[in-house]
């Protein structure tokens, strides 16, 4: 994971903030329990002027300064303080038992508000992916046959055009 952080730093130094953000988002998906990744991503967004997006990633962190409080408040207001909308937007797939009391309370408040407003609490399960255990789709045979037919048609089309052109020329001179 150290090389990823090195790449992120190199992307930031080179001005490729979008690439750095994409890398951090991938890390957040892979390690949802590590809230420090969210903090790093939020700081990049804040430094870039996207305060509401920074608030999205800082909402689960205890505010350390005025900037964090301001960004989180701006983010909450952008979603009308709707617990349901915020939960759907932040998509926390981590283990809630490993979180700090502050973060647990924030999630509990959002869930309570969501249930009060919509009678539903969005629940995001951790993705269960096993490396190397991917199966091909069942329509792969038909897509392969279609691909071969398309290539064959493209190759055959000019030949048929020449044959037809020869027939037309032959009919003109045979009269």
Say how many C-beta atoms besides its own lie within 10 A of residue 134's C-beta.
7
Rounded mean pLDDT, 107-121: 90
Rounded mean pLDDT, 137-160: 78
Per CATH, the number for 4-139 is 1.25.40
Buried (b) or exposed (e) across 8-20, using 16+ Cβ within 10 A?
beebeeeeeeeeb
Looking at the predicted structure, is the pLDDT value of residue 124 above 80? no
Specify the pLDDT at position 70: 94
Lowest mean pLDDT among 28-32, 124-128, 156-160, 170-174: 124-128
Compute the C-alpha angle 61/63/66, nearest 5°. 145
% of the chain beyond a pLDDT of 90: 47
Distance, in Å, from the CA atom of 16 to the CA atom of 21, rounded to the nearest integer, reads 9
Tokens describing residue 51: 């305060």
Ramachandran category for residue 120: left, alpha or beta (phi over 0 → left; psi -120 to 50 → alpha): beta
Name the pLDDT band for 110 (thresholds 50, 70, 90). very high
The overall average pLDDT reported for the chain is: 86
Residues sharing a CB contact under 8 Å with residue 106, sequence separation 6 or more, in sequence order: 59, 60
């Amino acid at each position: 994971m150290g090389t990823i952080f090195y790449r992120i730093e190199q992307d930031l130094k080179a001005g490729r903030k979008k690439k750095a953000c994409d890398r951090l988002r991938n890390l957040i998906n892979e390690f949802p329990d590590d809230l420090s990744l969210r903090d790093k991503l939020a700081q990049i967004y804040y430094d870039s002027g996207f305060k509401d997006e920074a608030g999205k990633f800082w909402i689960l962190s205890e505010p350390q300064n005025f900037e964090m409080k301001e960004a989180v408040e701006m983010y909450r207001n952008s979603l009308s303080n709707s617990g349901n909308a915020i939960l759907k937007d932040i998509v926390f797939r981590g283990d809630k038992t490993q979180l700090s009391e502050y973060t647990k309370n924030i999630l509990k408040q959002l869930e309570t508000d969501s249930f009060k407003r919509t009678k539903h609490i969005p629940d995001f399960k951790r993705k269960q992916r096993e490396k190397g255990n991917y199966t091909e789709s069942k329509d792969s045979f038909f897509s392969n046959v279609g691909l071969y037919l398309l290539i064959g048609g493209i190759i055959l089309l000019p030949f048929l055009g020449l044959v037809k052109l020869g027939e037309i020329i032959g009919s003109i001179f045979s009269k």
